[in-house]
């Protein structure tokens, strides 16, 4: 039976891609055929093959062979590094869930595990009346929250968890990511997160360690999620 997960973040730039790639490596090491997906990505670069996003390429590289076409991983690629609803508006594009779902269904049919990375935080707008959270809601995906460990993470994590629950989604667990290696009282903050978040900690990723090496941190998480 295949399993799919939605990776949400407490904010932009807190390491969703890093955590997603690490999770993909951990699942691969446990014998799963895995694929990452970035349904919507802004800040893409022009290449000879078309628009390409750095995060989506990282997810593709962490996936199991044979690799799917890039367009299956990242159906909506936008040039400007803006909120997707603004980047799409500037390019006269419309972001809709239906074509994203078709790409997702194709991946889910071909891989044991699909890790779907969101964009920005839980409530980033994609289009009028459509938010990043609607992907998890419409596709009924359990959510893994990536908490960027820095000053303010407690509030951001708890607000995100409340929003996820309010939208009727299941928070399956959370991953701490050491984005600020000099953060004060990091262990005490982690203890607080473990006490207050309504889901288990799946692991804490060390600063500056590539996903392939950091994957051992999430070994127990794979067993819990499988």
Per-residue confidence (pLDDT) for residue 35, from 0 to 100? 98
* Domain ranges (residues) in the chain: 3-225
Q: What sign has the CA pseudo-torsion 193, 197, 203, 206?
A: negative
Architecture of domain 3-225 in this structure: 3-Layer(aba) Sandwich (3.40)
Closest CA to 203 of 183, 1, 211: 211
Q: What is the pLDDT along the chain (226 residues), one digit of tens a residue?
A: 469 999 999 999 999 999 999 999 999 999 999 999 999 999 999 999 999 999 999 999 999 999 999 999 999 999 999 999 999 999 999 999 999 999 999 999 999 999 999 999 999 999 999 999 999 999 999 999 999 999 999 999 999 999 999 999 999 999 999 999 999 999 999 999 999 999 999 999 999 999 999 999 998 888 888 7
Closest CA to 85 of 74, 73, 75, 96: 96
Per-residue confidence (pLDDT) for residue 1, from 0 to 100? 45
| Residue from 16, 38, 93, 137 carrying the catalytic annotation | 38
The CA distance from 139 to 97, in Å, is: 10
The full DSSP string for 90-135 is HTT----HHHHHHHHHHHHHH-SEEEEE-SSSTT-EEETTEETHHH
pTM greater than the 0.85 cutoff: yes
Asked if 38 is an active-site residue, the reply is yes
């Amino acid at each position: 039976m295949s399993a799919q997960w939605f990776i949400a973040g407490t904010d932009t730039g807190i390491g969703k891609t890093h955590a997603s790639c690490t999770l993909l490596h951990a699942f691969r090491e446990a014998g799963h055929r895995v694929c990452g997906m970035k349904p919507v990505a802004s800040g893409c670069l022009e290449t000879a093959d078309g628009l390409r996003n750095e995060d989506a390429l990282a997810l593709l590289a962490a996936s199991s062979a044979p690799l799917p076409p890039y367009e299956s991983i990242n159906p909506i690629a936008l040039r400007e590094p803006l909120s997707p609803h603004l980047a799409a508006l500037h390019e006269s594009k419309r972001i809709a869930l239906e074509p994203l779902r078709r790409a997702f269904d194709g991946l889910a049919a071909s891989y044991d595990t699909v890790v779907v990375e969101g964009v920005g935080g839980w409530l980033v707008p994609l289009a009028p009346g459509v938010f990043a959270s609607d992907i998890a809601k419409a596709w009924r995906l359990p959510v893994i929250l990536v908490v960027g460990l820095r000053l303010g993470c407690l509030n951001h994590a708890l607000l995100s968890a409340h929003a996820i629950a309010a939208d009727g989604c299941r928070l399956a667990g959370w991953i701490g990511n050491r984005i600020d290696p000099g953060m004060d009282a990091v262990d005490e903050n982690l203890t607080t997160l473990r006490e207050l978040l309504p889901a288990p900690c799946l692991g804490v990723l060390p600063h500056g360690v590539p996903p392939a090496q950091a994957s051992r941190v999430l070994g127990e998480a794979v067993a819990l999620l499988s």
